[in-house]
Amino acid sequence: MIAVYKALIFDPERLIGELISEQLVRSEEFKPICVDKVAQILNLITINYFDVIIISIAGDDINGKAISQKIRETSVITPIIFLVEKEFNQKEISSEDLGTIDFIIKPLRISELITHVRGLIRKHENLDAGAIFIGQYAFQPSNKILITKDHKNSISLTEKETLILKYLYGMGNQKVSRSHLLEIVWGYNTDVTTHTLETHIYRLRQKIEKDPSCATILVTVPGGYSLCP
């Protein structure tokens, strides 16, 4: 089964963004959403998980540094690809606390962009043990494991457990409702109920919490769950 990654594309002129979106859909690896306003980026990343954000910058019309700072302020760690002009000063973008950043100079080949996107997602999923921590564990989504900080023990995760942690981690410490988490992890399936989710949460806590009955990492909040890494 081909993996499906979610991509958020920002292009104020929409021309490049729509073209990229069409090509990503054809690859059957991605589910893209194209927007043309910065406010739409900020709104979408607070309610959805994206594997990559693609931002097209045209000259001085779009302030890439300001956009990256706004994304960072939401605590979302999704990797970003900037599509830039030759004269764009990459040093103006700070990567501190933002996650992985990459740059592609326009004009670009769609095949080149897809290669960059694949590589950036893999790089992000395989960050070293010092980069992504959930409690006392280093989380490696691509390998479906959690590794203790001392590297002495590892915990295997199921696919659903991995998706739950990945989504909650990507949302920072924001609350995610049960219904929304169900939709993200299981998709539209009338046979899946909140009991299914609660069972997976219970099993996850048995694996990662020191005291599963008093969770401090994967916590229950009104209406849903939140991760406290």
Banded pLDDT at 88 (limits 50, 70, 90): low
Instruction: Decide yes or no: CATH 3.40.50.1220 for domain 5-125.
Output: no
Rounded-to-integer distance, Cα 95 and Cα 127, Å: 15
User: What type of residue sits at position 57?
Assistant: I
Q: Where are the domains of the chain?
A: 5-125, 133-227
106-124 tens-digit pLDDT? 887 888 888 888 877 777 7
Query: Which one, of 32, 67, 36, lies nearest residue 48 by Cα?
Result: 32
The residue with greater pLDDT, 134 or 131, is: 134
Q: What integer is the mean pLDDT of 205-219?
A: 93
CATH of span 133-227: 1.10.10.10
Helices (H), the chain: 15-27, 38-47, 64-73, 110-125, 159-170, 178-186, 194-208
As a whole-number percent, the residues of the chain with pLDDT over 90 amount to: 21
Single pTM value for the model: 0.58
**DSSP-derived secondary structure letter, 9:** E
Tokens 């045209």 belong to 58
Query: Which one, of 166, 192, 139, 135, lies nearest residue 48 by Cα?
Result: 166
Query: pLDDT at residue 61 above 70?
Result: no
Q: What integer is the mean pLDDT of 80-94?
A: 68
The mean pLDDT of the chain is: 80
The confidence score (pLDDT) of residue 129 equals 38
150-205 tens-digit pLDDT? 667 889 999 899 889 988 887 777 788 888 888 888 876 667 788 899 999 999 99
Rounded-to-integer distance, Cα 157 and Cα 143, Å: 9
Q: What integer is the mean pLDDT of 17-41?
A: 88
Rounded-to-integer distance, Cα 187 and Cα 174, Å: 21
